[in-house]
């Protein structure tokens, strides 16, 4: 039986992770922002579910929550950093407050959680951190510029930190789902649209999302089952694309970048000083 720490557990992939892990007999420490969000699961699974109130935009609260999760020398086998949401709008349309909240939740919050758990995992002799990223950590859609900034940012952070802590038996998985039926769209924070963007790629994306034309192929339960399966693996991949949309988009983007870069090799070398 494993013990897991999951942030943002009140909905979406976080809630589905809680359900599947508790159903199979594991123990879960789940963080939520609002009291009562997991009362039904608590009633069903009792002491195997510990619920902690925590807002990931509050770094002090993150440290306190992590202390509670590891209290008394309790071991956490896997940490799932899941808390986050989407901000939708052309970059010009976004308010300063919207930008600050998006960065504080998705990027700074994830960074501070990882920083808080590393000493605990190191002291217990190792562990695994699963960062819920997105296909949007490697590709980009119009109107999601700040969301992509957080996902590209956390992927770079994780890739560096993974090298720093590998010697301590700590490793990472960057889970990269494509569009998935998690209620993500209903939780979007929308910017006030500007008329000048109506006939641009931004306007097309807004209409596609509003009309339902934007395809959502991913299944939340299957996505979580794969995240758990790879978390159980002794040697998981650093990056785990989830869904046909994610795999295709990421593969095609990587190929395009390589095709665009290779003709620049000679120019790149000319920038060397020796």
- Catalytic residue positions, numbered: 133, 147, 151
CB-CB contact of 51 with 69 (8 Å):
no
The residues near 198 (Cβ < 8 Å, ≥ 6 apart) are none
Buried b (16+ CB within 10 A) or exposed e, 166-175: eebebbbbbb
Angle at alpha carbon of residue 54, lines to 124 and 18, rounded to 5°: 70
CA neighbor of 31 nearest in space, from 56, 7, 63: 7
In whole angstroms, give the CA distance from residue 167 to residue 240. 22
Q: Following DSSP, what letter does each residue of 154-165 receive, concatenated?
A: HHHHHHHHHHHH
Q: Give the DSSP per-residue string, 231-250.
A: HHSSS--SEEEESHHHHHHH
Closest CA to 29 of 61, 12, 53, 13: 53
CA atoms within 13 A on the CB side of 197: 19
Query: Alpha-carbon distance 124 to 128, whole Å?
Result: 12
For the chain, the farthest-separated pair of C-alpha atoms sits apart, in whole angstroms, at 68
Only one residue has tokens 């700590």, namely: 170
Alpha carbon distance 206, 165 (integer Å): 41
């Amino acid at each position: 039986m494993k013990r897991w720490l999951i942030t943002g557990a009140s909905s979406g992939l976080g809630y589905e992770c809680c359900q599947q892990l508790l159903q199979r007999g594991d123990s879960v420490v789940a963080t939520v922002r609002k009291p009562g969000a997991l009362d039904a699961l608590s009633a069903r699974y009792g002491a195997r579910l510990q619920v902690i109130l925590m807002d990931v935009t509050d770094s002090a609260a993150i440290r306190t929550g992590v202390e509670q999760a590891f209290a008394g020398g309790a071991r956490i086998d896997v940490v799932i950093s899941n808390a986050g949401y989407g901000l939708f709008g052309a970059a010009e349309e976004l308010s300063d407050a919207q930008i600050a909240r998006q960065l504080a939740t998705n990027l700074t919050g994830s960074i501070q959680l990882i920083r808080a758990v590393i000493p605990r995992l190191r002291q217990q002799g190792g562990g695994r951190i699963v960062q819920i990223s997105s296909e949007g950590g490697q590709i980009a859609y119009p109107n999601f510029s700040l969301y992509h900034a957080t996902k590209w940012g956390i992927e770079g952070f994780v890739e560096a930190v993974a090298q720093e802590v590998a010697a301590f038996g700590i490793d990472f998985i960057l889970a990269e789902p494509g569009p998935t039926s998690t209620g993500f769209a209903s939780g979007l924070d929308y910017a006030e649209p500007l008329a000048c963007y109506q006939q641009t790629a931004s306007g097309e994306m807004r209409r596609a999302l509003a009309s339902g034309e934007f395809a959502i192929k991913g299944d939340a339960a299957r996505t979580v089952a794969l995240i758990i399966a790879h978390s159980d693996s002794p040697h998981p991949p650093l990056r785990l694309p989830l869904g046909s949309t994610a795999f295709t988009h990421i593969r095609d983007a990587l190929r395009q970048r390589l095709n665009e870069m290779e003709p620049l090799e000679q120019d790149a070398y000319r920038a060397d000083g020796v």
